[in-house]
Structure 1
Amino acid sequence: MKRRNLWLISLLLLIGMTVLASCSEDTGGSESSAEEGEADTVEDSGNAEGSGESRELAFSHLFPNNHVMETDVVQVFADEVQEATNGEVQVESYPGAQLAAPDGQYEAAATGVADMGFSVHSYNPGQFPLTSVMELPFMEETGTEGSQVLWDLYEEFPELQDEYSDVVPLWLSTSEAGQIFTVGEQVKSVEDLEGMRIRSPSPEVNAWLEEMGATPVSMSMNEVYEALERGVVDGTVGPIHTLLDYSLQEVIDYVTVGDFYMTTFFGVMNQESYDSLSEEQRQAVDEIRGEHMSQVAGEAIDARSEEAVQAAEEAGAEFYELSEEELQEWKEKMQPTIDAWIQDKEDSGLPGQDVYDKAVELSSK
């Protein structure tokens, strides 16, 4: 009997210990699951709150540190992007062609050498055939007006948009109208240009310089100061702001004002860099890029132009503004350039006539 009772007691103790062990394991498992669930919740919450990782984007361009395009355009863009993304997206500027040559800025952005690129269209002849309409003679007077016309053309013509199909345009803009700067000899008439070596920024300007008997010399604006100083060229065409941003007021003697052409600029972003941003970050950038930044660039150029006129006059440069009567002769000499531009685009299957007509229409407003 006693032996039986002992056996029952032992059995009950064994069952009790088994039950306790089982409860202990369940409790531990529940705590582990709770911890895992909590970790998952934190991770998901972090993804939701942090709309995207913080990014630093490299912005490459050719302009020097003191150039208005660095101080009043690139830095404005960088500041606005940083503010709009609550500091998540930082834009680091690399001025002075540190990452790519002046004519390699677009390719640098398109291929991912840099996240963004900014330069002059005409440094890549033939790559932007319809954009170059704004480089034709007498299109606009100010950068603000020219930039608005160019962006409106971009939005209206799919063929013009195709010129930027491998990037995300940040802005398209123009300078104020370009003038003629010379050393030693003043230009007042078409005949005065004959035989002069004039630095030219584009094929469109080359065409009308040749029409007037001048010899166009192609080079980037970074090379112009030395070329003028050493007599490699007799003069250059350029927007007024370049007198100050490239210190040309120190080496030129005369400025002939006729609003002969406009320089055009692009700011573009690598497509993969753009796509890698979070949706919220892309939306923030989209609010800034486009028409807004095109106007920022145009207005910055115009403000700098006013400063450059003053600096050039103080340095002793003599300004000569062509009268309406004098301009008629220049316009007649330049008309073949316009006709040839239109014909060339039409022969290439592009709407050259429509784009030119629309540009004139928008300019006349």
Structure 2
Amino acid sequence: MKKFLGLTAVASVSFAFAAEAMATEWNVSVWGKRRAFTEHVEKLAELVSEKTDGEFTMNISYGGLSKNRENLDGISIGAFEMAQFCAGYHRDKNRVITVLELPFLGISNLEEEVAVSSAVYNHPAAAEEMAQWNAKLLMTSPMPQYNIVGTGDVRDDLAEFEGMRVRATGGIGEAFKAVGAVPTSVTATEAYQAMESGVVDTVAFAQHAHLSFGTINRADWWTANLNPGTVNCPVVVNIDAYESLSDAEREALDSSVAEALDHYLANYGELLKKWDSVLEEKGVEKVEISEEVLAEFRSTAAEPIRDAWIKDMEAQGLPGQELYDLVQKTLADHRNGS
């Protein structure tokens, strides 16, 4: 009997170790704190765990695994299995998706942002470039058009942008530069301090980031309709980790992306609904830029920056014109319901 019990105990322990070995655990690198910008990542982890009965789990780390500018590097060496990054942090490493950061693309809502991002992510040039970093594009982090907060006198004319120090990355930074502003690409987590210390006069963010990183707390005013563009921030997975998943795990992951994005859109929509009350609560003036100023901004920044981007991409052997046309066609198709 003792021998039987001993064998039973050994078998139980062995089974436990085997079960543990079969479980898959991914580390996910994001930054800041949990906010609207990361809700799809949180939802994805929840869905994947549910679909696999807890056998595939994700540990989401807010800054504990890597700095935000180094997340793509971490993916490339397998330091973690999933990460979020923004194209403007290292434009030379993710040239293809910077088409989505061109100013004044005409995207008007988050659903359109999802549509055009997905189209670009699925382009062979995007997949090929990301593969150089052992990364697979999984889903976007759609954000509304950026607008700026500032202190002191309102800046609602292009002449007042001359010399303005603005925290802005990617194509948005290029747009401000075109009208005489001085963009700086401090990271999101550094923006409040840059504003507090006077390193920048204004900060360009989407609404959630003005809240999460505290820049709205220092603001006297916010531009409601400047809308120069947005940044593109994909969630990527390490290719080796993705390919090592079982068929069931991979299906759980892939099939959860759409639902995770739907959750993100619904959550962000609630934030946008209450944005005006946030401004009122914090005593921030809502500034409407005149259509004449907006037209001048677009004519100065949009076409020259777009044409320069296409020329630069084509010179590097990338299909710049094709990618830009893809964005415009996808936008038109989405609006037509096709």
Quick check: 1:62 aligned with 2:62? no
Aligned 8 A contact 1:169 1:268 in 2: yes
Q: CA deviation at 1:280?
A: 1.4
Matched residue, 1:351: 319
1:119 aligns with 2:85: yes
What is the aligned partner in structure 2 of residue 337 from structure 1? 305
Where does the alignment leave 5 or more consecutive residues of structure 2 unmatched? 1-10
- Residue 22 of structure 2 aligns to a residue whose secondary structure is coil
Give the distance between the partners of 1:240 and 1:278, measured in 2 at CA: 39
Rounded to whole Å, the distance in 1 between the matches of 2:268 and 2:103 is: 19
2:96 maps to 130
TM-score (norm 1): 0.80
Contact 2:114 2:142 in 1 (8 A): yes
- 2:55 alignment partner, one of 83, 88, 95: 88
What is the percentage of aligned positions where both structures have the same residue? 26
What is the count of residue pairs matched by the alignment? Answer: 315
Q: Deviations over 1:141-193 (max 9, x none)?
A: 222321221102222x2112223222232212331111122111212121110
Per-residue deviation, 1:309:
3.9
Give the structure 1 partner of residue 6 of structure 2. none
* SS of structure 2 residue aligned to 1:104: helix
Alignment partner of 2:233: what SS? strand
Q: Distance in 1 between matches of 2:37 and 2:174?
A: 28
Contact 1:249–1:311 under 8 Å retained in 2? no
Find the aligned partners of 1:240 and 1:214 in 2 and give their Cα distance: 21
The structure having more radius of gyration, on CA atoms, is 1
CA deviation map 1:77-105 (0-9, x unaligned): 1100001112111111111x111011111
Distance 1:269 1:130 in 2: 17
Seen in structure 2, the aligned counterparts of structure 1 residues 357 and 313 have a Cα distance that, compared at 3 Å, is: farther
CA contact (8 A) 1:177 1:260 kept: yes
Cα 1:300–1:201, aligned 2, differ >3 Å: closer, same or farther?
A: farther
CA contact (8 A) 1:176 1:301 kept: no
What residue is the counterpart of 1:176 in the other structure?
A: 144
TM-score, with length taken from structure 2: 0.86
Question: What is the DSSP-based 3-state SS (H/G/I as helix, E as strand, rest coil) of the residue aligned with 1:57?
Answer: strand
The yes-or-no answer on 1:278 pairing with 2:238 is no
Q: Which moved more, 1:338-347 or 1:162-171?
A: 162-171
1:164 is matched with 130
Does structure 1 residue 267 correspond to structure 2 residue 235? yes
For the residue of structure 2 that corresponds to 1:77, the secondary structure is helix
How far is 1:260 from its partner?
0.8
Report if aligned partners of 1:243, 1:312 keep a CA contact under 8 Å in 2. Answer: no
Q: Which range is displaced more, 341-350 or 319-328? A: 319-328
Q: Is the 2:172–2:230 contact (alpha carbons within 8 Å) kept by the matching residues of 1?
A: no
> Which protein is richer in strand relative to its size?
1
Structure 1: how far apart are the matches of 2:247 and 2:158?
A: 55
Residues of 2 paired with 1:136 and 1:174: CA distance?
15
Shift of 1:271: 2.0
8 Å contact from structure 1 (residues 173, 295) kept in 2: no
- Structure 1 pair 111/294, CA: closer, same or farther in 2 (3 Å)? farther
Unaligned 5+ segments in structure 1 are 1-41
Q: Which amino acid letter does the alignment assign opposite residue 43 of structure 2?
A: V
1:112-154 Cα offsets, whole Å, 9 max, x none, are 1112111222111222212111211222122232122110222
Any conservation in 2 of the 1:62–1:105 contact (CA below 8 Å)? no
In 1, the alpha carbon distance for the partners of 2:295 and 2:271 equals 29
**Could you say what secondary structure the match of 2:313 adopts?**
helix
> In the aligned structure 2, how far is the partner of 1:313 from the partner of 1:151?
36
Q: What per-residue deviation string (whole Å, max 9, x for no partner) do you get for residues 37-84 of structure 1?
A: xxxxx9xxx9xxx8x81122111111313x2234x2222111000011
Matching residue's letter, 2:130: Y
Which segment is superposed worse, 355-364 or 301-310? 301-310
Secondary structure of the residue that 2:226 maps to in structure 1? strand
Alpha-carbon offset, residue 294 of structure 1: 4.4
